[in-house]
Amino acid sequence: MSGPARQVVVVTGASSGIGRGAALAFAARGVSVVLAARSEQALAEVARECEERGGRALAVPTDVSDEAAVQALAQRAADWSGRIDIWVNAAAVWSYGRFEDTPGPVFRQIVETTLLGQVYAARAVLPHFRAEGHGVLINISSLYGRLSSPYVAPYVTAKWGLLGFSEVLRQELRDTPGIAVCTILPGAVDTPIYRHAANYTGRQIRPLPPVTSPERVVAAVLRAADHPQRQIVVGQTHRIGAWVHRFIPALYDRLIGPVVDVCALRSVPAPPHDGTVFDPASPTHTVDDGWRRHDHRLVAKALTLAVGAAALTTATRAVNRRRGQSATSSAASVATHTRAVRRKGNAANR
């Protein structure tokens, strides 16, 4: 891999959130950054900030759900810089609402952006990596690639698919050890994606606490670029949730619905809307969105609810066990009595 100052990095989803933070962090190293997102105005702002931090920047407005546009992005980056060293797939859109309430076109667009956009990127950049003999593809997945919760069916579908896709790429690229595929799995992150999300719940939404800072995810992206790893999980509390989901699925299913209803759905009414799923226009294109300021109250609520539900589950199981034992004991008594009656009857017959 060439030195950091000579590297060329492509970042999709660079207009806000993790993508914007990663672009600025790479630029601070003096690298050349190619910025891709749908909003031309937001990209121009990010490009200016990247150059102020010492990097070179090229803004290429791109809708990653359009495969031809992603191919053009890769070619434009290679023509501008001569090569591509690192590609960060951070583009994603989001919705909140029951599956039955989520319009079909919204579901499709979320999967096409959040999953197929990263698939198209891999198809576009891998020939460049192979030509150079090296490269790092960084897919921003989510712990929603390992677990689930109500109201986010299209996003969970996309992230579970992305995790499997990344696995396959790693297996197929074993013949080119200079090419690495890294997957970043953050929990809830303090970015504007929740403000941008489509919403069909009837209530305003917020990320499920505790919320991770985008800077931690950006640090994981830089670490993957410098020292590629198969997977990097960001957020210890959410890692516990993934463990419960895997090993105690019945308890997870009992807890997750009430926790989401209390901690992710706000009491403020909200009309149904498509957010930025189709239209990138938004007043908020920052890296973070200030959600962490209110986390302490919601974390306390979530913990109280989780402990209460866990205690209820434990008590229910104990009652069921006692009932089962009682039923078994009663059945045994009846069987003993029946055998005694039969023995008396047999003796009388003799």
State the DSSP string of 256-319.
Answer: HHHHHHHHTEEEEE---B-TTSS----S---S--SGGGGHHHHHHHHHHHHHHHHHHHHHHHHH
Catalytic (active-site) positions: 155
Among the listed residues 165, 145, 157, the one whose alpha carbon sits nearest the alpha carbon of residue 245 = 145
Strand order in the sheet with 32-37: 56-61, 32-37, 8-12, 86-89, 135-140, 179-186, 231-234
Residues 6+ apart with CB under 8 A from 153: 99, 102, 107
At residue 178, the 3 state secondary structure works out as coil
Residues 6+ apart with CB under 8 A from 230: 170, 182, 183
Q: State the Cα–Cα distance between residues 140 and 184, nearest whole angstrom.
A: 5
Q: State the Cα–Cα distance between residues 53 and 66, nearest whole angstrom.
A: 31
